[in-house]
Amino acid sequence: MKIGAIAIAVAVALFGLTIGLGSWFTVDQTERGVRLRNGAVVGVAQPGLGFKVPVIDTVEKVSVRTSTWTWDKMNSYSYDQQPADLKISVTLRCAPEKVAELYSRFGGLDAAVRQVVNPTVNQQVKIVFGRYTAVRAIQERGQLNGAIRDAIALALRDDSMIVIESVQLENIEFSHAYLQSIEQRMLAEVEVQKLQQNAEREKVQAQITVTQATARANAVRAEAQAQADAIKLRGDAEASAIRARAEALGQNPGLVSLVQAERWDGKLPATMVPGSALPMLSVGGR
């Protein structure tokens, strides 16, 4: 009898201990607790120590931590019908004030991402990428990334329980054939640029040659003009001197004899014509 009473007492004590311990719960800072009473949402528990009604109440924890989800090899087509595999990563979190709504609709963040975010990302990425040609997608990758981010955020604006923090276009992988065509195109463009540079260089060289030839011709022309001017000046000077001397002789005939006297070296000629006058003797006679 005593043994039975002791067993009952121990069972009651264990039951009471279980009830007492089951009345308390803790919620981490990166979580929120959804309080359920007989399966129905009755509130949200904030981080820290909380109390619930034993047996009747339960607490389901939902993460509000920021996490990154990745979609790898998302097949899409560019505006010019080039196939490509895109790698997209989306960083998101559950809005703390919307935890109860998220749990009521999806039961957790993972299910919400699979049912809401995943189809939205697939749809919007393909729509936005389809507006870009393959070349433009490569050249304007930053703009493409921003367009995808804005499209996803706009599509999820009504589901405010999920907060999109960032969207990253991590990689664009085109087919091998297309990459080869791009490489060949780039080589052709490089060759064209090289030919253009050579043509421009030859054009500049030709201009330099013309300039040098013009400068030489101008120099020769200037030198010839200078020589012609000098000859003219000398001719003019000599003509003026001749005219002046002629005028002087015309006004003074004896100037000829004077010039002869000034230039005579004092020597008589070795031979003379019979009957001719001796040089310079007429000067003294006058």
pLDDT in tens, 6-43: 666 655 555 555 555 557 889 999 999 999 998 899 99
Give the pLDDT score at 61: 92
Q: State whether the Cα torsion 127-133-138-144 is positive or negative.
A: negative
Lookup: tokens for 85: 């595999």
Percentages helix, strand, coil for the chain (3-state, rounded to 5) are: 55, 20, 20
Sign of CA dihedral 153, 155, 157, 163: negative
Query: At residue 7, what is the residue type?
Result: A
Packing angle, helices 141-155 and 118-129, rounded to 10: 140
Choose between 19 and 228: higher pLDDT: 228
What's the pLDDT score for residue 170? 94
Is 103:41 a contact under the CB 8 Å cutoff?
yes
Please give the structure tokens belonging to residue 155. Answer: 């599509």
- The yes-or-no verdict on residue 103 having pLDDT over 80 is yes
Q: Indicate whether 191 pLDDT > 70.
A: yes
DSSP 272: -
Residue listed under structure tokens 């490089």 = 190
Phi, psi dihedral angles at 279 (to 5 degrees): -60, 140
Going by pLDDT thresholds of 50, 70 and 90, the confidence category of residue 270 is: low
Distance between alpha carbon 46 and the CA centroid of its chain, in Å? 49
**Residue 285 confidence (pLDDT):** 43
Chain center to CA of 65: 37
Domain locations along the chain: 8-63, 67-174, 191-229
Nearest to 176 by CA among 107, 109, 101, 82: 82
Q: DSSP state, 270?
A: S
Residues 51-90: pLDDT tens digits? 888 878 899 999 999 999 999 989 999 999 899 999 999 9
Contact 21, 13 (CB under 8 A): no
Asked whether 73 and 87 are in contact (CB, 8 A), the reply is yes
- Give per-residue pLDDT as tens, 170-183: 999 988 878 777 77
Residue 264 — pLDDT band, cuts 50, 70, 90?
low
CATH of domain 67-174: 3.30.479.30
- The length of the chain is 286
Give one DSSP letter per residue of 88-151, joined into a string. EEEEEEE-GGGHHHHHHHHSSHHHHIIIIIHHHHHHHHHHHHTTS-HHHHHHTHHHHHHHHHHH
Question: How much is the average pLDDT of 212-239?
Answer: 81
User: What's the average model confidence in pLDDT over 278-285?
Assistant: 49
Tell me the residue type at 163.
V
